[in-house]
Amino acid sequence: MTVTGERAHIECEDLVRIFTAKGVEVQALQGLNLRVDRSDLVAIVGASGSGKSTLLNILSGLDTPSAGSARVAGHDLLSMRRRERARYQRHVVGFVWQQTARNLLPYLTAAENVALPMVIARRSGRSERVDHLLDVLGVSHTKDRRPAELSGGEQQRISIAVALANEPEVILADEPTGELDEQTSGNVFEAIRHVNVELGVTVVVVTHDPLVSEHVRRTVQIRDGRTSTEVVRRSEVDEHGAEQHHVEEFAVLDRVGRLQLPDDFVRALDLRERVRLRLEQDHVGIWPDGSRRNGDDG
């Protein structure tokens, strides 16, 4: 876990992205905070429209935030100029999108698709690296086939190889298993987990897929353009040698002390407008506003 003050591999603070469409402003991100350590695998979940793709587009360098700060592997995404941005997209981050058509060129074979980012980056030793990556992803047999001749799962594994071609430090994946059936989705996610562990690459994956979000150590929930809660899973072996799995949900506290209560907590106590707070020795109590209801502060 990151020690406060230490630099994380991905660090977003108070990130804001406002879109203006036909004179109407949409605040897609409203002060989002996120820290991801090097070599971590983090899932981002959230309702449709909560800002997940906006966040990923910013992290990938395709879009720039309106305000706040965002650093990835030491690169400041707000102040980056064109040349640094191109280098960043080519060497620092790799992307995997949901639509395979966005990941792979249809008229190139699997091997040519994986080689392409290396050709653009004028990298040597390409054919050895293509063979190595196809082997790591378990798709060596597809080498000479074009995307139309591959299954959805194979296409996504090759897309991961393409993303890894120039040895990025970070892989960003937007719904990489979204178009796949359950079993194929499990296989593709295993491939992502494999490259995370074997190559130490940091992975951020946006997903609706519980198969993915329930099998990563850390799942971050975005609500209304802010990070709201985090689920952390850990396993430990007890004194009888049996593996115990622990799941804990945390609310995310930002730099100035704001937090979002989970929806079900708010509904369960019918919390509205304002709440009573009390500082106890080792916790903070939150009660419905009694004066608004029955005069009892609980």
Q: Where along the sequence are the contacts to ligand ATP (CB under 6 A)? A: 19, 21, 26, 28, 46, 48-54
CB count within 10 Å of CB 105 equals 13
| Residue pointed to by tokens 């194929």 | 184
- Looking at the Cβ atoms of 53 and 185, the one nearer to ligand ATP is 53
Q: How far is the CB of 41 from ligand ATP (least distance, A)?
A: 19
- Looking at the Cβ atoms of 51 and 94, the one nearer to ligand ATP is 51
CA atoms within 13 A of residue 200's CA, in its CB half-sphere:
2
Q: How far is the CB of 19 from ligand ATP (least distance, A)?
A: 3
- Looking at the Cβ atoms of 58 and 136, the one nearer to ligand ATP is 58
Q: Which residues contact 163 (CB under 8 A, 6 or more apart)?
A: 94, 95, 96, 103, 171, 173
Query: What DSSP string describes 191-203?
Result: HHHHHHHHH--EE
Of residues 11, 3, 7, 9, the one with CA closest to residue 227: 11
Of residues 122, 125, 136, 190, the one with CA closest to residue 164: 136
- Looking at the Cβ atoms of 195 and 222, the one nearer to ligand ATP is 222
| Residue pointed to by tokens 């009888």 | 240
Instruction: Please give the angle made by the CA atoms of 216, 189 and 57, to the nearest 5 degrees.
Output: 80
Q: How far is the CB of 210 from ligand ATP (least distance, A)?
A: 15
Q: How far is the CB of 27 from ligand ATP (least distance, A)?
A: 8
- Looking at the Cβ atoms of 31 and 51, the one nearer to ligand ATP is 51
Q: Specify the amino acid at residue 216.
A: V
Distance between first and last Cα of the chain? 36
Q: How far is the CB of 209 from ligand ATP (least distance, A)?
A: 12
- Looking at the Cβ atoms of 32 and 118, the one nearer to ligand ATP is 32
Q: How far is the CB of 21 from ligand ATP (least distance, A)?
A: 4
**Crossing angle, helix 126-136 and helix 182-199, to 10 degrees?**
130
Q: How far is the CB of 52 from ligand ATP (least distance, A)?
A: 4
- Looking at the Cβ atoms of 33 and 54, the one nearer to ligand ATP is 54
